[in-house]
Structure 1
């Protein structure tokens, strides 16, 4: 809070059921601290384009540009994002003010007929919108037919139920948050399918000049999660992580020591996966990001090319259109 008067807030959010759950979750946390909070529902370009893969239409940033415009224009004060969907580098004038405690970061297999990946018949159709999941699935089961699956979570489940796919892969966090855990047939342990950087964590984006708001959000932050995802996102930043990069990064903080694993693959899935791992004591965001950069250098040393010119270079964005 700022002084004796709580800050009135508007949260910019996509209008999918999961995005609204996330926004309402933050709304409830802030209301419990005395803030008046309203939601500003918005439809993004990413929600409108459903017939092409994210890699071909501009990447996951398509889901947040309208929300960020609302922040810049003052129509909203905060935006709530799934961190795996938030680009590594934010526009000038915007900052990540808070990271909340993480939900289950794993991927989940959902199927109406099959109990797990091993139960899928040869040539089974598996739907996903993620190049990371595509490459890791191909490494586990080269015989599967990996097909593009777009739409919000409910749309993806409906397409599965209509019989268009034998199984689909979704983030476990979204299913659990919406009370759909019973739809999960099997969870992929990180050793088999390493999660995306930031998967399962929520981040709050604000204007950088709102020091009062950043201070008001500080009590919502979960520092162990923030340290972990900062390391994961540093790997992605150093590798030029984007919609066209099959890159996974996942950290586990035990006490003061963070173990960080990363996997990189070729988009066509033909080259062997490159894996890297390192551990270090981590107490600050700078230390977490340094660990992420070190793991990215190990990926480069192992043959990973990424989309960036160098492990410490700026990422190369997805081409427009």
Structure 2
């Protein structure tokens, strides 16, 4: 412990205040304690309200996109009020503020989407004209692609808020990240898990990332044992793919990289918001070329889809 910080120095972990965000921050805290034998009272979890949490009545695409979930945390990280920020990787913009960097990825949970309904066993089993609630443009587009007869409505809010809306009959079903439900101990509410062969997850889904100040030797040493190399390799590919496509909350983009030994395989997809048009790609290569593979996949899809396709997102 003494090799990475003084015995009387507190570590401040910044996080959003939702139950899932807190679960992720406490998982990070517990891993730091285990890795460095830190006294629990020396790690403080600092809850920071973000615009993305406060604005619930409009789609994210209308009010600023993914950065709404990270801006306030990054401001406090940059000025030293917190030492680390813990995020869901799928919420992270591909371009970070100057002076900040993703310094570790925790081992990824199951990246699949979970289907939840009291009225049907699966998305396929929903009756014609059923209503599915989702705030994700990717999920909305994939639902419309697979079931154009289904109505999709906006479903903002944390996990508990969305489940309450479901119980109130606002929708017949919803989709949430399996990883988040597992971290909350709520896997029992899942009706079905979506096969990635038909329903690709979001880039980064299921992975927790730690953001720190670039070049901060103290915090780099703290989080280094927490970094999971396989997850970091997969996320390098997925985030490069996203960056090549200028991915944001305005763009229905799906992608998943899997690592097997010395190789990485990637599948990516872009869709129009109504799900009527989609372009897919599958590539594989060595783990050393993971980021290059993601960039190549993004460039190929951009070329194949053409400028007209991308203008439909705006």
TM-score, normalised to structure 1, is 0.92
1:274 is matched with: 279
User: What is the total number of aligned residue pairs between the two structures?
Assistant: 307
Q: Report the CA distance between 1:113 and its aligned residue.
A: 1.9
Superposition TM-score, scaled by structure 2 size? 0.94
2:264 alignment partner, one of 258, 262, 269? 258
| 1:212-232 deviation per Cα after TM superposition (whole angstroms, max 9, x unaligned) | 211221110000010001101
1:304 Cα deviation after fit: 5.2
| Matched residue, 1:312 | none
- CA 282–305 in structure 1, closer or farther in 2 if over 3 Å, else same: farther
Structure 2, unaligned runs of 5 or more: none
1:93 to 76, 99, 112: 99
- Correspondences of 1:1-321 after superposition (within 5 Å): 1=1, 3=3, 5=6, 8-32=10-34, 33-35=36-38, 36-270=42-276, 272-283=277-288, 287-303=289-305, 305=307
Report the RMSD for the aligned CA atoms in angstroms: 1.9
Matches of 1:226 and 1:306, distance apart in 2: 33
Give, in whole Å, the separation in 2 of the partners of 1:307 and 1:86: 24
8 Å CA contact retained: 2:272, 2:309:
no
Deviation string for 1:61-103 (max 9, x for gaps)? 1011111111012110000000000111110010000001000
Q: Evaluate the alpha carbon distance shift between residue 265 and residue 305 of structure 1 in structure 2; reply closer, same or farther with a 3 A threshold.
A: farther
Paired with 1:18 and 1:150, the residues of 2 have a C-alpha distance of 15
In structure 1, C-alpha distance between the alignment counterparts of 2:24 and 2:308, rounded to whole Å: 31
What SS does structure 2 have at the residue aligned with 1:109?
A: strand
Q: CA deviation at 1:2?
A: 5.8
Q: Which runs of 4+ in 1 moved over 3 A?
A: 4-7, 304-309
Alignment deviations for residues 252-311 of structure 1 (CA, whole Å, 9 cap, x no partner): 1111110000000112333x210011000113xxx21101011112212321559999xx
SS of 2:162's partner is: helix
